[in-house]
Structure 1
């Protein structure tokens, strides 16, 4: 299928392009990343984000996509349609994840966030505005799980109500990335709607295993892909500033894989340095090779993990924990190994930490493409996607 015959896609809050990659590679077999994407039904015609550097990354990897580095509140839908060479009703999809800051647990100590009064919550309305004015055949919205919490019940009800009024019959579900072959225990909510009003059915998990909150799982499915499996064929080089030094450097090196600062409390085998549950879970957190990674942080502090399970000597010969290297971050996000990123190490961490893991996005978009008739079931997993019995969950 030539680019001219592919359905154009509008990408909002695009960031470095996790959902955009999923759109581009939706025809690739699950958990495969060929050098060139398998020709599929969609092309990302236009992408917008307020962070120019993230769009520079997207443009570097998807040069045929028109990019708009501007606040969505100052970007008319007509301009997005014009830049994507579309008219109303021609877009195959609108995709995007409005910034999660207003709904992130990390901001719950702020009163305006606890009470769901954050002004950035209006970005959900901007997403609805573009759907209303562009009338795509379908849309996919992604956000943090906290959007579904009681704290933000009114915002979520308004979002679903507005999309329902447009005739899209929105369906939503919280998905665990590891359940779809991503070596990361990241939970995200997806909202999907079709212009024809037919209910979207979410894909059934293809993998299973213990998570941070559950020790029960479907043992008939393949086990979650571990960080060790994800890194198995990877050869990396040391990166500047990768060792964890400073006040807690020595303590971090003593934390075993799979443990965090709690190792250094009176209940575990390390030093008695911290009070029980006095820090965030990610403080001094180390990966373990036999389990998926915890959620990658977009803006971690110097002692916020997950860090690699291996220690390396510093220039004084002292063992120190090390941060994850960029190729390892890409593997944990199921991005292609040859994906190029703009900016410093901190910039790269922010772009990837804010992104949608490609295989998670691909699973949702592949299910949608199959149900819309744009892909043919070509594997047992595709048959599962067509048979999936995911249902809508309504907030009353």
Structure 2
């Protein structure tokens, strides 16, 4: 095997969600950059020999000093740079605060510049990035900035980089979680990338199928002001059940809370998107009216069941919620290896979640609202309207291909 084949440089590695999937596909991670101290410890727990780059794991500092020779490569040898820059400057939630409406002007977006700098230094054959839809769409997206940067790199080095992106739902690829994220694939020198075809679009893996054989070491207990309302919300529903348009007593105003407020899993559907920083009332909650255990979160992100995480429950939840679903990364890794004409693993996906047709369940009864909440029942003002406060948005699948030439 020639030097550089199958090699990947991992940026924003977190606890290893994307890296695990790429390794399952056949890539070899030769360096990882992660700033979070707890996540770095998690990487070393699972990969004691991991090459963690930079004293502090700061991608900006690493980009300023790291060279291909430091990893035993020549410029152009590296197969892949992968990772997802912090999404906060581009996320929908951030846009409700004036300080969040900055996109590439946000200081946190300097990590995108660092990624571009490393692409220029290494000239990898491919780049894989994951982010939120706001990274490529909307007034503050980074897409045009990224295009221009790749054009400059192409022209300066007599190469051709193409930028492709698509909004994918992880549930379509066997991940038991509805998680929509933008996947960006950048390829060098007219390489054609075929997006993976959905394997579970018509029949996704359900939360019950995924979790039926998971035994938590420690079952968390719901806490907070609204925790006792969970038994009064059917599985698969959220606080809207307790509004003027729901079927329960009106305790909240319609669309006056975020979607994941008191949001519960439905056993016959994939999980809702896992949150990295949930509050006491932030779902998705288990249908047993409690937060999800760490082992359950690992399964819903398709991380290996024996994957170890440093830190307490909150730290583990943050690491899992920030991760790329490993099975989705395995799908993408296989397609990248095929595009680069490199040998990849064949047959059944290593991280696939098995489906047990014998798994059955009965609907859980919905309890009456606890007496302590009854004084709150009564007419409430609804959401003021589009553009006047937090509201749900429907994300439509989109894709775009764009090429730059020397």
Query: TM-score, structure 1 length as denominator?
Result: 0.82
Q: Extract unaligned runs of 5+ from structure 2.
A: 155-159, 350-397
Q: Is residue 234 from structure 1 mapped to residue 214 from structure 2 by the alignment?
A: yes
Other-structure match for 1:101 = 88
**1:63–1:160: structure 2 CA closer, same or farther, 3 Å change rule?**
farther
Quote the Cα distance in structure 2 between the aligned partners of 1:191 and 1:70: 23
Q: Following the alignment from structure 1 to structure 2, what is the Cα–Cα distance between the partners of residues 246 and 288?
A: 22
Q: What secondary structure, in the 3-state scheme, does the structure 2 residue paired with 1:348 have? A: helix
- The residue number in structure 2 matching 1:59 is 44
Residue of structure 1 equivalent to 2:6: 7
**Residues 159/183 of structure 1: CA separation in 2 closer, same or farther (3 Å cut):** same
> In the alignment, which residue of structure 1 is the partner of 2:309?
341
Instruction: Report Cα offsets for 1:303-332 as digits up to 9, x if no partner.
Output: 00000001xxxxxxxxxx211011110110
Are 1:186 and 2:179 an aligned pair? Answer: yes
How far, CA to CA, are the matches of 2:400 and 2:191 in structure 1? 12
Counterpart for residue 129 of structure 1: 117
Distance in 1 between residues matched to 2:113 and 2:102, nearest whole Å: 18
- State how many pairs are aligned: 346
Specify every segment of 5 or more residues in structure 1 that has no aligned partner in the other structure, as ranges.
Answer: 27-39, 209-220, 311-320, 382-389
Moved more, 190-199 or 269-278: 190-199
Alignment of 1:136-175 (within 5 A): 136-153=124-141, 155-165=142-152, 166=154, 167-175=160-168
Q: CA deviation at 1:196?
A: 2.1
Distance 2:36 2:271 in 1: 27
Q: Distance in 1 between matches of 2:193 and 2:323?
A: 23
Give the 3-state SS of the residue equivalent to 2:81 in structure 1.
strand
Measured on the aligned residues, the alpha-carbon RMSD in Å equals 2.4
Give SS of 2:298's match: helix
Matched, 1:243 2:243: no
Q: Does 1:201 align with 2:194?
A: yes
2: distance between equivalents of 1:377 and 1:87? 26
In the superposition, relative to structure 1, how do residues 115 and 92 fare at CA in structure 2: closer, same or farther (>3 Å)? Answer: closer
Equivalent residue of 1:202, what SS?
Answer: coil
Query: What TM-score do you get using the length of structure 2 for normalisation?
Result: 0.80
- After superposition, residues 19-30 of structure 1 pair within 5 angstroms as 19-26=18-25
Q: Aligned-pair distance for 1:78?
A: 4.5
Question: Are 1:49 and 2:42 counterparts?
Answer: no
Q: Which has the higher contact order (CA 8 A, sep 6+)?
A: 2
State the SS of the aligned residue for 1:16: coil
- What is the match of residue 368 of structure 1? 336
CA offsets 1:270-318 (integer angstroms, 9 cap, x no match):
23110000000000000011001111101011100000001xxxxxxxx
Question: Alpha-carbon deviation of 1:164?
Answer: 3.7
Whether contact under 8 Å (1:164, 1:170) holds in the other structure is no
Tell me what 2:382 maps to.
none
1:265–1:275: 8 Å Cα contact kept in structure 2? yes
Cα-to-partner distance string for 1:342-390 (whole Å, 9 max, x where unaligned): 0111111111111100011111111111122223684599xxxxxxxx9
1:137–1:279 distance in 2 versus 1, CA, 3 Å: same
Distance 1:391 1:277 in 2: 30
Q: Could you say which structure has the larger radius of gyration?
A: 2
